[in-house]
Structure 1
Protein backbone atom coordinates (compact mmCIF):
# COMPACT_ATOMS: atom_id res chain seq x y z
CA UNK A 1 0.00 0.00 0.00
CA UNK A 2 1.47 3.31 -1.02
CA UNK A 3 -0.54 6.27 0.13
CA UNK A 4 0.21 9.37 2.11
CA UNK A 5 -1.83 9.65 5.28
CA UNK A 6 -3.13 13.17 5.81
CA UNK A 7 -6.71 12.97 7.14
CA UNK A 8 -8.64 10.81 9.57
CA UNK A 9 -10.45 9.26 6.60
CA UNK A 10 -7.07 8.15 5.20
CA UNK A 11 -6.50 6.20 8.44
CA UNK A 12 -9.97 4.67 8.91
CA UNK A 13 -10.31 1.34 7.12
CA UNK A 14 -6.57 0.65 7.23
CA UNK A 15 -5.30 -2.79 8.27
CA UNK A 16 -1.88 -2.94 9.96
CA UNK A 17 0.62 -5.54 11.10
CA UNK A 18 3.36 -4.26 13.37
CA UNK A 19 6.12 -5.64 15.55
CA UNK A 20 7.13 -3.99 18.78
CA UNK A 21 10.81 -3.60 19.63
CA UNK A 22 10.31 -6.32 22.28
CA UNK A 23 9.33 -8.78 19.49
CA UNK A 24 5.58 -8.88 20.12
CA UNK A 25 3.61 -8.94 16.84
CA UNK A 26 0.12 -7.48 16.54
CA UNK A 27 -2.42 -7.14 13.74
CA UNK A 28 -4.83 -4.24 14.01
CA UNK A 29 -7.67 -2.78 11.93
CA UNK A 30 -9.20 0.72 12.15
CA UNK A 31 -12.68 -0.62 11.42
CA UNK A 32 -14.43 2.77 11.58
CA UNK A 33 -14.30 6.01 13.57
CA UNK A 34 -15.12 4.31 16.89
CA UNK A 35 -14.31 0.59 16.56
CA UNK A 36 -11.17 -1.54 16.14
CA UNK A 37 -10.53 -5.26 15.56
CA UNK A 38 -7.23 -6.99 16.31
CA UNK A 39 -5.31 -10.25 16.60
CA UNK A 40 -2.22 -10.89 18.69
CA UNK A 41 0.46 -13.04 17.07
CA UNK A 42 3.35 -12.73 19.51
CA UNK A 43 3.96 -11.84 23.12
CA UNK A 44 2.40 -12.50 26.48
CA UNK A 45 -1.16 -12.91 25.13
CA UNK A 46 -0.43 -14.34 21.66
CA UNK A 47 -3.51 -16.10 20.29
CA UNK A 48 -5.99 -13.51 21.57
CA UNK A 49 -8.35 -11.85 19.08
CA UNK A 50 -11.09 -9.25 19.39
CA UNK A 51 -13.75 -7.72 17.16
CA UNK A 52 -15.74 -4.52 17.61
CA UNK A 53 -13.69 -3.04 20.46
CA UNK A 54 -14.99 0.47 21.13
CA UNK A 55 -12.14 2.97 20.94
CA UNK A 56 -11.41 6.67 20.83
CA UNK A 57 -9.79 7.39 17.45
CA UNK A 58 -8.48 10.87 16.64
CA UNK A 59 -6.04 12.60 14.34
CA UNK A 60 -3.51 14.60 16.37
CA UNK A 61 -2.00 16.39 13.37
CA UNK A 62 -2.09 15.42 9.69
CA UNK A 63 -0.73 11.87 9.37
CA UNK A 64 -0.48 11.13 13.13
CA UNK A 65 -3.28 9.28 14.93
CA UNK A 66 -4.03 8.33 18.55
CA UNK A 67 -6.23 5.39 19.44
CA UNK A 68 -7.12 4.44 23.03
CA UNK A 69 -9.47 1.97 24.70
CA UNK A 70 -10.17 -0.09 27.80
CA UNK A 71 -10.84 -3.81 27.37
CA UNK A 72 -13.26 -5.92 29.42
CA UNK A 73 -10.12 -7.45 30.99
CA UNK A 74 -9.32 -4.04 32.49
CA UNK A 75 -6.34 -3.66 30.14
CA UNK A 76 -5.89 -0.11 28.87
CA UNK A 77 -4.24 0.53 25.50
CA UNK A 78 -2.94 3.76 23.92
CA UNK A 79 -1.47 3.66 20.40
CA UNK A 80 0.10 6.48 18.40
CA UNK A 81 0.30 5.65 14.70
CA UNK A 82 2.69 7.44 12.33
CA UNK A 83 1.95 5.43 9.17
CA UNK A 84 3.83 7.70 6.76
CA UNK A 85 6.98 6.73 8.69
CA UNK A 86 5.82 3.11 9.24
CA UNK A 87 6.15 3.68 12.99
CA UNK A 88 3.96 3.28 16.01
CA UNK A 89 4.29 3.88 19.73
CA UNK A 90 2.09 1.89 22.01
CA UNK A 91 1.58 1.60 25.73
CA UNK A 92 -0.34 -1.33 27.15
CA UNK A 93 -1.42 -1.25 30.81
CA UNK A 94 -2.00 -4.89 31.80
CA UNK A 95 -3.81 -5.55 35.10
CA UNK A 96 -1.84 -7.81 37.42
CA UNK A 97 -4.27 -10.67 36.81
CA UNK A 98 -3.54 -10.68 33.06
CA UNK A 99 0.20 -10.82 33.77
CA UNK A 100 -0.33 -13.73 36.20
CA UNK A 101 -3.02 -15.57 34.17
CA UNK A 102 -2.56 -14.56 30.50
CA UNK A 103 -3.98 -17.89 29.32
CA UNK A 104 -7.47 -16.77 30.41
CA UNK A 105 -7.39 -14.00 27.79
CA UNK A 106 -5.97 -16.09 24.93
CA UNK A 107 -9.25 -16.71 23.16
CA UNK A 108 -11.82 -14.96 21.00
CA UNK A 109 -12.73 -12.36 23.59
CA UNK A 110 -16.19 -11.60 22.17
CA UNK A 111 -17.41 -15.09 23.15
CA UNK A 112 -15.98 -14.77 26.68
CA UNK A 113 -16.80 -11.26 27.94
CA UNK A 114 -18.36 -12.69 31.13
CA UNK A 115 -15.16 -14.63 31.87
CA UNK A 116 -13.01 -11.52 31.31
CA UNK A 117 -15.18 -9.45 33.63
CA UNK A 118 -15.31 -12.19 36.28
CA UNK A 119 -11.53 -12.62 36.16
CA UNK A 120 -11.09 -8.86 36.51
CA UNK A 121 -13.13 -9.02 39.72
CA UNK A 122 -11.63 -12.27 41.05
CA UNK A 123 -7.90 -11.53 40.67
CA UNK A 124 -5.62 -8.66 41.62
CA UNK A 125 -5.60 -5.63 39.33
CA UNK A 126 -2.65 -3.66 40.76
CA UNK A 127 0.13 -3.06 40.29
CA UNK A 128 -0.37 -2.88 36.53
CA UNK A 129 2.30 -4.11 34.13
CA UNK A 130 3.05 -1.11 31.91
CA UNK A 131 4.55 -2.01 28.53
CA UNK A 132 5.66 1.09 26.56
CA UNK A 133 7.18 0.15 23.20
CA UNK A 134 7.97 1.48 19.76
CA UNK A 135 6.97 -0.67 16.80
CA UNK A 136 7.72 -0.95 13.10
CA UNK A 137 4.71 -1.28 10.83
CA UNK A 138 5.45 -4.25 8.54
CA UNK A 139 2.18 -4.22 6.60
CA UNK A 140 -0.54 -1.71 5.69
CA UNK A 141 -3.60 -2.61 3.63
CA UNK A 142 -6.56 -0.55 2.48
CA UNK A 143 -9.37 -2.83 3.68
CA UNK A 144 -12.09 -0.17 3.68
CA UNK A 145 -14.30 0.52 6.66
CA UNK A 146 -16.50 -2.12 8.30
CA UNK A 147 -14.92 -5.03 6.40
CA UNK A 148 -15.81 -8.12 8.44
CA UNK A 149 -13.25 -10.25 6.55
CA UNK A 150 -10.20 -8.44 7.95
CA UNK A 151 -10.17 -9.99 11.44
CA UNK A 152 -12.45 -12.99 11.05
CA UNK A 153 -10.65 -16.02 12.44
CA UNK A 154 -8.24 -16.98 15.20
CA UNK A 155 -4.57 -16.15 14.71
CA UNK A 156 -2.23 -18.91 13.60
CA UNK A 157 1.57 -18.84 13.15
CA UNK A 158 1.73 -18.34 9.36
CA UNK A 159 -1.07 -15.75 9.16
CA UNK A 160 0.97 -12.50 9.24
CA UNK A 161 3.35 -13.79 6.56
CA UNK A 162 0.43 -14.95 4.38
CA UNK A 163 -1.10 -11.47 4.59
CA UNK A 164 2.21 -9.73 3.82
CA UNK A 165 2.78 -12.09 0.86
CA UNK A 166 -0.66 -11.28 -0.62
CA UNK A 167 -2.00 -14.82 -0.08
CA UNK A 168 -4.79 -14.09 2.41
CA UNK A 169 -7.00 -11.43 0.77
CA UNK A 170 -8.23 -11.08 -2.80
CA UNK A 171 -8.16 -7.83 -4.82
CA UNK A 172 -11.37 -6.69 -3.01
CA UNK A 173 -9.83 -7.32 0.43
CA UNK A 174 -11.94 -10.38 1.16
CA UNK A 175 -10.54 -13.58 2.61
CA UNK A 176 -9.50 -16.03 -0.08
CA UNK A 177 -10.06 -19.23 1.91
CA UNK A 178 -13.26 -18.96 3.97
Structure 2
Protein backbone atom coordinates (compact mmCIF):
# COMPACT_ATOMS: atom_id res chain seq x y z
CA UNK A 1 0.00 0.00 0.00
CA UNK A 2 1.30 3.43 -0.94
CA UNK A 3 1.54 6.04 1.75
CA UNK A 4 0.06 9.41 0.84
CA UNK A 5 3.15 11.29 1.99
CA UNK A 6 5.15 9.43 -0.69
CA UNK A 7 2.91 10.70 -3.49
CA UNK A 8 3.56 14.09 -4.99
CA UNK A 9 0.16 15.48 -5.83
CA UNK A 10 -0.30 19.10 -6.85
CA UNK A 11 -2.31 21.12 -4.35
CA UNK A 12 -4.68 23.99 -4.93
CA UNK A 13 -5.54 26.74 -2.47
CA UNK A 14 -8.73 28.78 -2.46
CA UNK A 15 -10.30 31.34 -0.14
CA UNK A 16 -12.80 34.17 -0.09
CA UNK A 17 -12.85 37.32 2.03
CA UNK A 18 -10.60 36.61 5.04
CA UNK A 19 -9.75 33.33 3.31
CA UNK A 20 -8.85 35.36 0.22
CA UNK A 21 -6.46 37.42 2.34
CA UNK A 22 -4.98 34.22 3.76
CA UNK A 23 -4.57 32.83 0.24
CA UNK A 24 -2.81 36.02 -0.87
CA UNK A 25 -0.47 35.92 2.13
CA UNK A 26 0.25 32.18 1.96
CA UNK A 27 1.39 32.30 -1.67
CA UNK A 28 3.91 35.00 -0.73
CA UNK A 29 5.38 32.63 1.87
CA UNK A 30 5.53 29.25 0.08
CA UNK A 31 5.63 27.68 -3.37
CA UNK A 32 3.86 24.53 -2.14
CA UNK A 33 0.65 25.18 -4.09
CA UNK A 34 0.35 24.54 -7.82
CA UNK A 35 -2.50 27.06 -8.17
CA UNK A 36 -4.49 29.46 -6.01
CA UNK A 37 -7.78 31.35 -6.14
CA UNK A 38 -8.44 34.42 -4.03
CA UNK A 39 -11.85 36.07 -3.86
CA UNK A 40 -12.32 39.56 -2.42
CA UNK A 41 -9.25 39.35 -0.19
CA UNK A 42 -7.16 42.00 1.49
CA UNK A 43 -3.72 42.60 0.03
CA UNK A 44 -2.63 45.64 2.05
CA UNK A 45 -3.67 45.63 5.68
CA UNK A 46 -2.24 49.12 6.20
CA UNK A 47 -4.76 50.66 3.81
CA UNK A 48 -7.45 48.23 5.00
CA UNK A 49 -6.80 49.37 8.58
CA UNK A 50 -7.69 52.94 7.65
CA UNK A 51 -10.67 52.06 5.44
CA UNK A 52 -14.25 52.63 6.59
CA UNK A 53 -16.41 49.77 5.46
CA UNK A 54 -20.10 50.29 4.88
CA UNK A 55 -21.13 46.98 6.42
CA UNK A 56 -20.87 48.32 9.97
CA UNK A 57 -20.10 51.98 9.14
CA UNK A 58 -17.03 51.79 11.38
CA UNK A 59 -13.34 52.27 10.75
CA UNK A 60 -11.98 48.83 9.93
CA UNK A 61 -9.09 48.92 12.41
CA UNK A 62 -11.08 46.71 14.78
CA UNK A 63 -10.77 43.90 12.17
CA UNK A 64 -6.98 43.87 12.36
CA UNK A 65 -6.55 44.68 16.04
CA UNK A 66 -9.09 42.39 17.70
CA UNK A 67 -11.21 40.60 15.13
CA UNK A 68 -9.94 38.39 12.31
CA UNK A 69 -6.21 39.17 12.39
CA UNK A 70 -5.97 39.62 16.17
CA UNK A 71 -2.76 41.62 15.98
CA UNK A 72 -3.65 43.14 19.34
CA UNK A 73 -2.01 46.48 18.64
CA UNK A 74 -2.69 49.44 16.42
CA UNK A 75 -0.88 50.13 13.18
CA UNK A 76 0.97 52.90 14.99
CA UNK A 77 2.12 50.62 17.81
CA UNK A 78 3.18 47.68 15.64
CA UNK A 79 3.86 48.99 12.13
CA UNK A 80 6.28 46.16 11.22
CA UNK A 81 3.66 43.49 11.90
CA UNK A 82 1.20 45.24 9.57
CA UNK A 83 3.84 45.53 6.86
CA UNK A 84 4.91 41.89 7.27
CA UNK A 85 1.29 40.74 6.96
CA UNK A 86 0.50 42.74 3.80
CA UNK A 87 0.75 40.38 0.81
CA UNK A 88 1.21 43.20 -1.69
CA UNK A 89 4.55 44.07 -0.06
CA UNK A 90 5.77 40.51 -0.65
CA UNK A 91 4.44 40.05 -4.19
CA UNK A 92 7.94 39.40 -5.53
CA UNK A 93 7.91 36.06 -3.69
CA UNK A 94 4.84 34.70 -5.50
CA UNK A 95 5.45 31.74 -7.80
CA UNK A 96 1.94 30.23 -7.61
CA UNK A 97 -0.40 31.04 -10.51
CA UNK A 98 -3.23 33.10 -8.99
CA UNK A 99 -6.79 33.63 -10.13
CA UNK A 100 -8.32 36.46 -8.14
CA UNK A 101 -11.77 37.94 -8.31
CA UNK A 102 -13.74 40.79 -6.82
CA UNK A 103 -17.09 42.44 -7.16
CA UNK A 104 -16.72 45.96 -8.55
CA UNK A 105 -19.15 47.23 -5.91
CA UNK A 106 -17.49 45.51 -2.93
CA UNK A 107 -17.42 47.85 0.06
CA UNK A 108 -16.82 45.17 2.69
CA UNK A 109 -13.31 44.43 1.41
CA UNK A 110 -12.72 47.32 -0.94
CA UNK A 111 -12.27 46.07 -4.51
CA UNK A 112 -9.10 48.20 -4.69
CA UNK A 113 -7.42 45.59 -2.46
CA UNK A 114 -7.71 43.03 -5.28
CA UNK A 115 -6.64 45.58 -7.88
CA UNK A 116 -3.51 46.49 -5.90
CA UNK A 117 -2.34 42.89 -5.68
CA UNK A 118 -3.18 42.35 -9.35
CA UNK A 119 -1.11 45.35 -10.44
CA UNK A 120 1.80 44.36 -8.18
CA UNK A 121 1.83 40.85 -9.64
CA UNK A 122 1.50 42.19 -13.19
CA UNK A 123 4.38 44.61 -12.64
CA UNK A 124 6.50 41.68 -11.46
CA UNK A 125 5.45 39.50 -14.44
CA UNK A 126 3.80 36.91 -12.19
CA UNK A 127 1.19 34.51 -13.53
CA UNK A 128 -2.08 36.04 -12.45
CA UNK A 129 -5.55 36.71 -13.82
CA UNK A 130 -8.13 38.91 -12.10
CA UNK A 131 -11.85 38.80 -12.74
CA UNK A 132 -14.01 41.80 -11.87
CA UNK A 133 -17.74 41.20 -11.69
CA UNK A 134 -19.31 44.59 -12.57
CA UNK A 135 -22.70 44.16 -10.88
CA UNK A 136 -21.54 42.32 -7.78
CA UNK A 137 -20.40 43.28 -4.29
CA UNK A 138 -18.56 41.15 -1.70
CA UNK A 139 -20.45 37.94 -2.49
CA UNK A 140 -21.56 36.83 -5.91
CA UNK A 141 -25.35 36.82 -5.76
CA UNK A 142 -26.24 36.88 -9.45
CA UNK A 143 -26.89 33.47 -10.99
CA UNK A 144 -24.83 34.24 -14.11
CA UNK A 145 -21.88 35.44 -12.00
CA UNK A 146 -22.08 32.34 -9.81
CA UNK A 147 -22.18 30.03 -12.82
CA UNK A 148 -19.29 31.88 -14.50
CA UNK A 149 -17.16 31.75 -11.35
CA UNK A 150 -17.91 28.06 -10.79
CA UNK A 151 -16.84 27.23 -14.34
CA UNK A 152 -13.66 29.31 -14.08
CA UNK A 153 -12.67 27.77 -10.74
CA UNK A 154 -13.00 24.33 -12.31
CA UNK A 155 -11.05 25.35 -15.43
CA UNK A 156 -8.30 27.05 -13.38
CA UNK A 157 -7.72 24.03 -11.19
CA UNK A 158 -8.03 21.68 -14.18
CA UNK A 159 -5.28 23.65 -15.90
CA UNK A 160 -2.83 23.82 -13.01
CA UNK A 161 -3.63 20.66 -11.07
CA UNK A 162 -4.39 18.29 -13.96
CA UNK A 163 -2.41 19.87 -16.83
CA UNK A 164 -5.65 20.74 -18.64
CA UNK A 165 -5.99 23.16 -21.54
CA UNK A 166 -5.43 26.91 -21.34
CA UNK A 167 -8.73 28.70 -21.86
CA UNK A 168 -8.93 32.05 -23.66
CA UNK A 169 -9.95 33.91 -20.49
CA UNK A 170 -6.69 32.75 -18.84
CA UNK A 171 -4.53 34.61 -21.33
CA UNK A 172 -3.19 37.91 -19.96
CA UNK A 173 -4.68 41.07 -21.39
CA UNK A 174 -2.47 43.89 -22.51
CA UNK A 175 -2.42 46.93 -20.16
TM-score normalized with structure 2 length: 0.28
The structure richer in helix per residue is: 2
Structure with bigger RCO (C-alpha 8 Å, 6+ apart): 1
Structure showing greater radius of gyration is: 2
Structure with the higher strand share, 1 or 2: 1
Q: TM-score, normalised by structure 1?
A: 0.28
